[in-house]
Structure 1
Amino acid sequence: MNKKIIPSTPLAERIRPKSLTDFCGQEHLVGDGKPIRLMIDNDTMSSFILWGPPGTGKTTLARIIAEETNAEFHQISAVSSGVKNIRSIIDIASRNELIKKRTILFIDEIHRFNKAQQDALLHSVESGIINLIGATTENPSFEVIPALRSRARVYVLNELSAKDLLDILHNAIKNDEFVSQFKIKELDEDFLLYLSGGDARIMLNIFESAVIQEIKKEEISLTKEVLENIVQQKNVLYDKAGEEHYNVISAFIKSIRGSDPDAALYWMARMLEGGEDPLFIARRMVILASEDIGNASPNALVLAEAAFGAVDKIGMPEARIILAQCVTYLAASPKRNSS
């Protein structure tokens, strides 16, 4: 490949693992003797929901299961699909059942299906006509109807560690056909991880964008300044209704949970700069104050509610100050492990 020809497929997709051997993280699910590993090794599928932050491997894991199990695989997104799509796949699955062939239906962002759409799955999941794999960034207890939850296990995917992220990055640098052609003289890995917010997809997108920006140079130096400039450019393309919206709000929430006020303020500013509704940010902080802090610091919920009301009354641009005050308080507050 000529290094001046930029691939149309994103780096994250080009290096997506195709087997558990190459999969990074989630050892509690895919390690030896763990539930998903046993499911694949024994080719015994059951319905389940993968719940975790963006960029932690939900879609990749579903595709690996498709590759390594003896089943027909169908993938849809809850964003662009409806009951008609579900029924079409159920019809295919019913025919497969007659010839003793299993059917896996993977639904990305299943939390975006309404009750009627989720109800359409119930009979087929319960009878085993389809094995459902749902992926969600939201708590299934709130976003998936009880009848469907009772028919599917919930597996929680953890945020990727710094080691996991660096393993993914180094694999891309070494093995991707496009990236591996460049001599990377300098790379501020710590700052890249900081910008990614624990999301492998964001990390790879920023990294590849930076490489492309420096494409004409003999040696590439991806310094803090270069990486920061890439992120600022991406802010302009922030889509409040698209995937980037969920990626950034996830990084924002994880920064507060991780007691990192600087990172939380960065993600807050990035959302506001991209045109995010400040009330959306305030609403998420009210939820976080109750779920993640709770009685460890009861005043957190009081402050978050007050911030929501103040933002509603004051509006932008002054709402930035109110939000920032709440963000730093929540990030500095003690957290609890259960809600």
Structure 2
Amino acid sequence: MKPLAERMRPQSLEEFIGQNHIIGEGKILRKLIMSKNIMNMIFYGPPGTGKTTLANVIAGHTSKRFYKLNATVSSVSDIKEIISDTKGLLNAAGTLLYIDEIQNFNKKQQQVLLEFIETGEISLIASTTENPHHCVYKAILSRSSVFEFHPLGKAEIKTGLERAVGLLEQNDFEGYSIVYEDAALDVISDFCDGDMRKALNLLEIAVYSLEAGADMRMELGKEAVIECLSKKMVYSDSSGDYHYDLISAFQKSIRGSDANAALHYLAKLINAGDLQSISRRLLVIAAEDIGLAYPNAISIVKACTDSAAQLGFPEARIPLAQAVILLATLPKSNSVITAIDAALHEIDTKNTGQVPMHLRCNHYSGAESLGRGIGYKYPHDYEHGYVKQQYMPDEIAGSVYYIPGENKFEKGIREHQRRIRGENHE
């Protein structure tokens, strides 16, 4: 018997659940499907959101000959075989080729596809869980429309589950009634993270674990579902788009001083077991977003991440959480990254000249005859360890990169600089 998720696969737009932003009434993709004017398309989004299902629905709305490949196991010869097959058929409507997980095709394999897309021999629908702008050959991308699929909402998942219960009653448990608590469907909906396939698989396991009473009733309660749950795994590919979205939200939450949101994204990264990415990002945040507002932050974070590496999961979660809460609640300053980026930009865009002669190395015989180091003033010989002299090349002598932030520590830096510059003379 086919899995429930496969048997529940919608056959029409009316049965399709979710993605109203692209196939709802009046939306562009729905109009294209109804007109049977199928262009090259790339469906992009997380698992279980309907990419393959919609490709099948589209195939049912057209008179094109339909072929399916999975890039995980297919090769160039499979593509060429399909093309050869289509050339031997009298099919004026053309050919529709669906390729699942296209990110698994390398550049050469994708180039083979391009040849037939350009000649119009095939219309391509490709799906991927990774950002197509990162994994799809640019020439194919430029000839295709990208449609992003979103995780399904809780209400949409529950609609699918309710339909599935009816299917199970009708086909698998004929004569029995399946009575479910709304809370049971809530547990499944919360657990599946917008993945309909995962939700249906869990429902199938839960229902088949039930025992019918004398009245032929099978009662699906919250506790029965919870017993079937394995550890919830957050979808996270360490090289994929979702991973970078998590990391981005993680840093932006800390930067925005929202400790609760930062802990939420930390928990997702921990759930995926991604200790290295968490540690690297925390160290970056300590310098980029806290910086000189609290210079000791990077030392504390380094101690926390070192401790996490030594402990490993699950204990590593504790020092990581300590670092996150610290960084989220500290004052913020981006003066460090702003300063170094300004210096790098000037080097890239201007003629910045040479190192001034009085600053050049003079620790070798003959340096003085070349004018190296002559006129240099040793700051420690002067009061407060400061003496005014030019350090920048002549061409950019007035450039300023570092501007102290409005926090206690950097206000102290600003006042110190003003004090020594006002008290000392050449």
- Is the TM-score greater than 0.5? yes
Report which stretch shifted further, 209-218 or 318-327: 318-327
Out of 112, 116, 131, the position equivalent to 1:120 is 112
CA distance in 2, matches of 1:327, 1:201: 36
**SS of equivalent residue, structure 1 residue 20:** coil
How many percent of aligned residue pairs carry the same amino acid? 31
Distance in 1 separating the partners of 2:313 and 2:105: 34
Structure 2 matches for 1:185-334, cutoff 5 A?
185-188=180-183, 189-217=185-213, 218-232=216-230, 265=267, 268-269=270-271, 278-279=273-274, 282-283=276-277, 298=289, 310=306, 313-314=309-310, 316-317=312-313, 320-321=316-317, 325=321
User: Contact 1:47 / 1:153 at 8 angstroms: preserved in 2?
Assistant: yes
Q: Judge conservation of contact 1:197–1:254 (CA < 8 Å) in 2.
A: no
| 8 Å contact from structure 2 (residues 178, 220) kept in 1 | no
* 3-state secondary structure, aligned to 1:84: helix
Deviates more, 1:310-319 or 1:175-184: 310-319
Q: Are 1:46 and 2:39 counterparts? A: yes
Pairwise CA RMSD: 4.1
Counterpart of 2:122?
A: 130
Moved more, 316-325 or 57-66: 316-325
Q: Does 1:33 align with 2:22?
A: no
Structure 2 vs 1, CA of residues 126 and 170 (structure 1 numbering), >3 Å: closer, same or farther? same
SS of equivalent to 2:162: helix
Q: Deviations over 1:90-127 (max 9, x none)?
A: 2223344x642311111111112111211111111122
Displacement of 1:220 in angstroms is 3.6
1:8-157 alignment to 2 at 5 Å?
A: 8-96=1-89, 99-157=91-149
Distance verdict in 2 for CA 1:202–1:99, change over 3 Å:
closer
**Secondary structure of the corresponding residue to residue 95 of structure 2:** strand
* SS of the residue 1:107 aligns to: strand
1:190 is aligned with what amino acid? D
- 2-structure distance, mates of 1:109, 1:69: 23
Partner of 1:274: none
Following TM superposition, by how much is the alpha carbon of 1:141 offset from its aligned partner in structure 2, in angstroms?
0.8
- Report the Cα offset of residue 315 of structure 1: 6.9
Aligned-residue offset at 1:312: 9.5
Q: 1:105 to 1:216 in 2, by over 3 A?
A: same
Offset at residue 26 of structure 1 (A):
1.4
Alpha-carbon distance change, 144 to 193 in structure 1, aligned in 2, over 3 angstroms: same
CA deviation map 1:65-107 (0-9, x unaligned): 11111111111111111111111112223344x6423111111
Q: Is the radius of gyration larger for structure 1 or structure 2?
A: 2
Aligned length: 295
Change (3 A) 1:131 1:179: farther
For residues 105 and 44 of structure 1, the distance between their equivalents in structure 2, rounded to whole angstroms, comes to 15
Conserved? CA contact 1:252–1:268, under 8 Å: no
Name the CA shift for 1:128/1:254 in 2 (closer, same or farther; >3 Å).
Answer: same
CA pair 209-91 structure 1, distance change in 2 beyond 3 A: same
Letter in 2 for 1:178: D
Distance 1:306 1:175, change over 3 A: farther
Match of 2:25, SS state, is coil
Residue identity opposite 1:28 in structure 2: H
Is contact 2:181-2:222 (8 Å) kept?
no
1:199 counterpart letter in structure 2: D
How much does 1:267 deviate?
Answer: 8.5
